[in-house]
Amino acid sequence: MRTLLWLLAIGLPLNGLAYTPDLSTLSGVPRLQLDAAQVQTALNSLNDDARHYAVAQSVDAGTESGNWTQGSDGLWHWRLRVVSSDAVSLAARIDALQLPEGAELWFYTSKGEDLQGPYSSSDNGELWTALVRSEEAVLDARMPDSARAAFAVHLAQVFHGYRSFSEAYPAKSAFGTSGACTVDVACPAGDGWRDEIRSTVLLTIGGTTLCSGNLINNTAQDNRALVLTANHCGLNALNVASSRAYFNVQKSACASGSEGSVKQNIAGRRLLASSASGTRSDYSLFELRSVPPGSYQVFYAGWDVSGVAPSSGVGISHPAGDDKKIAVFDSGAQAVSDLCVGSLVGATCTGFSIDAWAVRWTLGDTEGGSSGSGLWSQNHRIVGTLTTGNSACMGSVNNNGGTDYYARLDRAWTALSSTGSTLKQVLDANGSGCTNLAGRDAASNSSACASSASTASSSGASAAATSGGGGSAGGLLPLLGLLLLRRRRMN
């Protein structure tokens, strides 16, 4: 029987076969234990940035750190257990991976959950794994005996997650346990936005930082895997390969059910466009390493850069890194010019400034981790990316009436980009002149383009001159409130 399984394995791609890890022999697998004192030192040095969920720990573990066993599948397995006490999630950076053809690498919890992979020879070199939610994980490379001599691995960093992706885990702070007034996308509030919900992703960057974003359509409508998020999330040309987009992380039922799966994810490939200094925009557009497979059932978000204020709409995000949530506004967004995100020193903004759409939610809110998510107009188009705000829950149903600010997409459209390519040059590469593009399913026909799709007025308030660039939406947010919310989201 073992010979038959081995013949099947070498005759078929390994990732074409379902894989169930053998946990019965884990006790004999070597353990790489992170130093708890060093982890605590790293935790003590953290600021209160709600986008951070993990701390990095340097390690030095090569092929010799694990061991080989032959599994019941007839293949040879190289395995290494990675342990960090009290971690709520673990991820790893492998700086030298050599998987021969016919080999694959998996990463999963010691209970066989959150099965990440298979990674293949196309991932050779540097690999940033997806996360698993446990204090103990297993690296498991499996291959035919003939491939063993060509296999090599070196583990350089492990990321100790200290904030949870689930209410089922104790969290150091409110990460993964968003406020009680947040609304699961499975609830009735999401019924009119099922497509847009499918475009929203949870992002991790550098193994330590999270944001939200959206898979976004382009005028070529070619299913190119483009993700739009906020520039302040920290994505750049050097770390984009460390980013990972997680799809469909959401509960299946309203206010109940198990935590969303993190198995559907794709790594970042390259940064295409991003806000340049002084452009009063806050966006990054990057490409994933592969097109999402059909099983992900993704939706490519539509967008509107006409500059017309939405009269109503929603925000969809991962507040505090939690399962996907929806917030609703039913009064028109206000335009705010030259809003200072940061501190004012005299008349100088020490952070950066944006032109924004200001909204107040009638249902739900956003929180740290929501940064980069899209603001959707009543026409089901993204018109901005979340930069900052002071909305919060004030109980199980109501929010605090605070205001959130989304950097305007129309202001970013032709603005100078740090990469040299503007947002327009990437999303409208064929030069169609489209300013309003509908979203679409991956397998659907091309969606409609219009020059404008909203009839709402674009009235708004500019920042007061005395604020030195920081301002308010018709007096909605005092400067003090802005500084407080900077501490919650932007540090």
User: What's 252's domain CATH number?
Assistant: 2.40.10.10
Q: What is the DSSP letter of 38?
A: H
* Shared-domain flag, residues 388 and 474: yes
Give the Cα-Cα-Cα angle 131, 184, 260 (nearest 5 degrees).
25
Residue 174 lies in a domain: no
Q: Give the integer Cα–Cα distance in Å for 430 and 82.
A: 48
DSSP character for 285?
E
Rounded CA-CA distance 118/75 in Å is 15
Q: Do 229 and 336 have their domain in common?
A: yes
Cβ count within 10 A of residue 279: 22
Q: What is the pLDDT of residue 393?
A: 86
Based on its alpha-carbon atoms, the radius of gyration of the chain, rounded to whole angstroms, reads 23
Contact 470, 339 (CB under 8 A): yes
How far apart (Å, rounded) are the C-alpha atoms in residues 194 and 212? 17
177 part of a folded domain: no
Q: What is the pTM of this model?
A: 0.88
What pLDDT does 473 receive? Answer: 32
Tokens at residue 90, please?
């673990």
Question: Could you read off the pLDDT tens digit of each residue along the chain, which spans 491 residues?
Answer: 444 343 333 333 444 457 999 999 999 999 999 999 999 999 999 887 778 999 999 999 999 999 999 999 899 999 999 999 999 999 999 999 999 999 999 999 999 999 999 999 999 999 999 999 999 999 999 999 999 999 999 999 999 999 876 432 333 333 345 668 889 999 999 999 999 999 999 999 999 999 999 999 999 999 999 999 999 999 999 999 999 999 999 999 998 878 899 999 999 999 999 999 999 999 999 999 999 999 999 999 999 999 999 999 999 999 988 999 999 999 999 999 999 999 989 889 999 999 999 999 999 999 889 999 999 999 999 999 999 999 988 867 778 889 999 999 999 999 999 999 999 999 999 999 999 999 999 989 888 887 644 433 333 343 432 222 222 333 333 333 333 344 334 43
Give the pLDDT of residue 6: 38
Same domain, yes or no: 259 and 113: no
Same structural domain for residues 192 and 70?
Answer: no
Is residue 49 in some structural domain? yes
| Residue 171 in domain | no
352 and 271 both lie in a single domain:
yes
The count of structural domains within the chain is: 2
Question: CB within 8 A of 260, min separation 6: which ones?
Answer: 248, 249, 250, 251, 323, 324
Peptide bond into 118 cis (omega under 30): yes
| CA–CA gap between residue 98 and residue 126 (Å, rounded) | 9
- Let me know if residue 375 belongs to a domain: yes
Same domain, 106 and 152: yes
Beta strands in 21-121 (DSSP E): 31-33, 54-62, 67-70, 76-83, 89-98, 104-109, 116-119
| Residue 453 and residue 436 in contact, taking contact as beta carbons nearer than 8 Å | yes
Residue 210 maps to a domain: yes
Interatomic CA distance for residues 35 and 57, integer angstroms: 9
Q: Which helix (H) or strand (E) holds 411?
A: helix 409-412
Pair 132, 242 in one domain: no
Domain end point (choices 131, 161, 191): 161
* Contact present, 459 and 309 (Cβ < 8 Å): yes
Please list the alpha-helical segments (H only) found in 218-265. none
**Range of the structural domain that residue 35 is part of:** 2-161
Which residue's structure tokens are 């070498």? 10
345, 472 contact by CB (below 8 A): no
241 and 139 part of one domain: no
| Structural tokens at position 452 | 């404008």
Beta bridge partners of 78: 68, 141
Query: CATH no. for residue 106?
Result: 2.60.120.290
The verdict on 143 and 228 lying in the same domain is no
320, 396: one domain: yes
Q: Within this chain, do residues 195 and 341 fall inside the same structural domain, yes or no?
A: yes
Residue-level pLDDT at 177: 53
With respect to residue 27, please indicate whether it lies within any of the assigned structural domains.
yes
Instruction: Give catalytic residues, as residue numbers.
Output: 232, 282, 371
Q: Within a domain: residue 364?
A: yes
Asked if 196 and 327 sit in the same domain, the reply is yes
- Centroid of chain to Cα 270: 15
